[in-house]
Chain A
Amino acid sequence: MKLFEHSNPTSVQEAVKMLSVQNARPIAGGTDLIGVMKDGLLPTDRVVNLKSIPGLDYIKEESGEIRLGALTRIGDIASSSVVAQKAPALAQAALAVASPQVRNMGTLGGNLAQKVRCWYFRDSDRADCYKRNGSYCYAVFGLSDVHAIFDGAACFAVQPSDSATALSALGANIVVAGPEGETVIGVDDFFIGPHVDYLRETILSPEQIITEVRIPASAVGQKSVFLKAAPRRSIDFARTNVAALVIGDPVQTVRLTLGAVAPTPRRATEVEAFLVGKRLTAEVIGQAARLAVNGAQPLASNGYKVQLAQGLVRQALTRLAG
């Protein structure tokens, strides 16, 4: 591994300042960044350790919202009774992340801001990958098992975060701190696809960090579910995941998000519009599942994700109907 500088800020403002030099990267649990650095995927000259900032590791209820500090470990979210009772989709997503060891190190902020798991990006020999400021996507004519079936644009890597899918379905907001101060952004606006910028997966600029995630009062205590399909159930990134929130019977409000099928968590807005005012009968759920994959354009070897997504949507809505 190349030599790098290590900084220990004691406040968010100090961290932001330390990140303002070229090739500085924030580290929390490090479960993603260390791999990226070891493989030499992205140039890193300074690592800014966010763990030295006090007060960013919490789960609390405030103003009807559930607020989670960015340094809250995934394992703590998975075992939180508050999250399990009031935002079950997030608890289920947290429990589905990687292994217990990784969950005990990885943080919520890191899970949202991680780099993609595309096997061409992660292959240190493929320096011409778009994500590494190159000019080619190997997935288009290569093996595309883990790649996007929706919204691919030049690059076909998918957003790998499980918590992102759940938080999208819960309509969460993300608090971001940067040189200009603090901003609150909806999860659906937080993630960006390659059509906007293929070098980034989120709107975060190099100096910005996540400080908090807020689950809105409208979603707290409502029925929600998260499901994930991966080759290995005990530890793996999702090939497809889905999260749904349903309020009312007949349905008054529904949010349905598919993950790992597109460069960003993908809200199934067509399905949501279809479900409003309906009861979740088997027939309605079947129609919704088919609608969820409408317009999918798989590559050579990821056509299975179409069926997978359809099946997961059916299962998720069936659970919420029961």
Chain B
Amino acid sequence: MTEINESGTPQDAPDLATDPQPDEPLSRRRLVIGGLAAVGAAAIAAGSLSRAASVVTAQEISDRVVVADPSLCVGCLACEVNCSTWHASVGRAAVARIRILTDPTVKLNARVAAFLPARAGNTPQTCRQCPTPWCLPNCPTEGLQIDPKTGNRFIDESQCIACGKCEVDCPVEFNGTLAYKAQTISSKRVVYDPVKNVYAKCDLCIGRDGGPICVERCPVNLAIKTGYIKSDHLALELKPSTEAQWKQLA
């Protein structure tokens, strides 16, 4: 049987029972089939269908993930605002998939602090695009999908029935105090939009030219790119979603 290591990544990934067609999004059903073939009926009998079914092959790891450096974050919330605005504008839920939490232990990078000394203590929290997409296997519809080209895990709202299973299965949380009005938050990183009655998660702004809007519009990123602030990396960065990267995020 394939074992899942500590990070949730399969150590020796099984072949899928049915190979996905190149242009067909890898659906929950196909993953279940693949997972079942790999782990066998014993796992079902043990009641571990969801986790067993989520064993996926290495190529299904997302190509990219948004990674944040809290020491470069000034808590301006441009990422949150643009995330919800863009998703609303394309007809997806208007819920921020990235949240800025406060963390008094975070010290600002000295070059950023030279401009904005009073804006330390923020830590951006993003979807980790887990190597094992825990949010996916229990979805009873085709709502949660994996883009076959990029491995990006996204929600197709037209298929979402708001059952909340993805939220239950999501292994990471937004937990703490938001930079926005110091509101307390305790939710999974798959979030519910009561207005549209669907769930939403970071989909790396799928379909958007220019990639994730949070990365593009972060003013610190722009300041770094224009040389205003010197840094060898960005505050919010789209990085390869390797297992090592995932471990760092975890």
The interface of chain A, by Cβ under 8 A from chain B, is 135-137, 140-141, 151-156, 194-195, 198, 295-300, 303
20 chain-A/chain-B pairs, Cβ below 8 angstroms: A135-B216, A136-B219, A137-B76, A140-B76, A140-B78, A140-B116, A140-B219, A141-B115, A141-B116, A152-B77, A153-B80, A154-B77, A154-B78, A154-B81, A154-B82, A154-B217, A195-B77, A198-B85, A296-B118, A303-B118
> Told that A140-B76, A153-B78 touch, could you supply 8 new A-B pairs with CB distance under 8 A?
A137-B78, A140-B116, A141-B219, A152-B77, A154-B76, A195-B80, A295-B182, A303-B118
Contacts of B217 in A (CB 8 A): 135-136, 154
Chain A proximity mask over B87-124: 1 for CB below 8 Å, otherwise 0: 00000000000000000000000000001101100000
Nearest CB to that of B182 among chain A residues?
A295
Chain B nearest CB from A41 CB (Å) reads 20
Report yes or no: A136 in contact with B222, Cβ–Cβ below 8 A.
yes
Main secondary structure of the interface of A (DSSP, over half): loop
Chain A nearest CB from B188 CB (Å) reads 21
Q: How far is the CA of A194 from the CA of B173 in the complex (A)?
A: 25
Contacts of B81 in A (CB 8 A): 153-155, 194-195, 198
Report yes or no: B85 in contact with A299, Cβ–Cβ below 8 A.
no
Contacts of B223 in A (CB 8 A): 141
Report yes or no: B76 in contact with A152, Cβ–Cβ below 8 A.
yes
Nearest CB to that of B96 among chain A residues?
A195
Say yes or no for B151: interface residue by CB 8 A criterion: no
A-B interface, 4 closest residue pairs, ranked by CB to CB distance from nearest: A154-B81, A153-B77, A154-B78, A140-B219
Nearest CB to that of A150 among chain B residues?
B181
Contacts of A151 in B (CB 8 A): 180-181
Q: How far is the CA of A195 from the CA of B180 in the complex (A)?
A: 8
Total interface residues in chain B, CB < 8 Å? 22
Nearest CB to that of B100 among chain A residues?
A153
Q: How far is the CA of A297 from the CA of B118 in the complex (A)?
A: 6
Contacts of B133 in A (CB 8 A): none
Report yes or no: A298 in contact with B219, Cβ–Cβ below 8 A.
no
Nearest CB to that of B223 among chain A residues?
A141
Report yes or no: B85 in contact with A153, Cβ–Cβ below 8 A.
no
Main secondary structure of the interface of B (DSSP, over half): loop
Contacts of B78 in A (CB 8 A): 137, 140, 153-154
Say yes or no for B146: interface residue by CB 8 A criterion: no
Report yes or no: A299 in contact with B119, Cβ–Cβ below 8 A.
yes
Contacts of A297 in B (CB 8 A): 75, 118-119
Report yes or no: B118 in contact with A298, Cβ–Cβ below 8 A.
yes
Contacts of B49 in A (CB 8 A): none
Nearest CB to that of B120 among chain A residues?
A297
Contacts of A300 in B (CB 8 A): 115-116
Nearest CB to that of A156 among chain B residues?
B76
Contacts of B77 in A (CB 8 A): 152-154, 195
Chain B nearest CB from A197 CB (Å) reads 8
Chain A proximity mask over B160-181: 1 for CB below 8 Å, otherwise 0: 0000000000000000000011
Within 8 A of A (CB), among B51-90: 74-78, 80-82, 85
- Given the known interface contacts A136-B222, A141-B219, the answer about A153 and B180 at a Cβ–Cβ threshold of 8 Å is yes
Question: Which interface residue of B81, B119, B216, B223 has the most chain A CB atoms within 10 A?
Answer: B81
Contacts of A156 in B (CB 8 A): 76
Question: Which interface residue of A140, A155, A195 has the most chain B CB atoms within 10 A?
Answer: A140
Chain A nearest CB from B204 CB (Å) reads 18
Q: How far is the CA of A299 from the CA of B81 in the complex (A)?
A: 18
Contacts of A299 in B (CB 8 A): 116, 118-119
Contacts of A295 in B (CB 8 A): 182
Q: How far is the CA of A295 from the CA of B216 in the complex (A)?
A: 28
Q: How far is the CA of A140 from the CA of B115 in the complex (A)?
A: 9
Contacts of B74 in A (CB 8 A): 140
Q: How far is the CA of A61 from the CA of B181 in the complex (A)?
A: 36
Q: How far is the CA of A37 from the CA of B234 in the complex (A)?
A: 38
Chain B nearest CB from A198 CB (Å) reads 6
Report yes or no: A137 in contact with B180, Cβ–Cβ below 8 A.
no
Contacts of B115 in A (CB 8 A): 141, 300
Contacts of A152 in B (CB 8 A): 76-77
Q: How far is the CA of A296 from the CA of B119 in the complex (A)?
A: 9
Contacts of A195 in B (CB 8 A): 77, 80-81, 180
Contacts of B85 in A (CB 8 A): 198
Nearest CB to that of B79 among chain A residues?
A154
Nearest CB to that of B121 among chain A residues?
A297
Contacts of A137 in B (CB 8 A): 76, 78, 219
Nearest CB to that of A151 among chain B residues?
B181
Report yes or no: A141 in contact with B118, Cβ–Cβ below 8 A.
no
Nearest CB to that of A296 among chain B residues?
B118
Q: How far is the CA of A298 from the CA of B119 in the complex (A)?
A: 7
Q: How far is the CA of A195 from the CA of B82 in the complex (A)?
A: 9
Question: Which interface residue of B75, B119, B216, B223 has the most chain A CB atoms within 10 A?
Answer: B119
Chain B nearest CB from A159 CB (Å) reads 15
Contacts of B216 in A (CB 8 A): 135
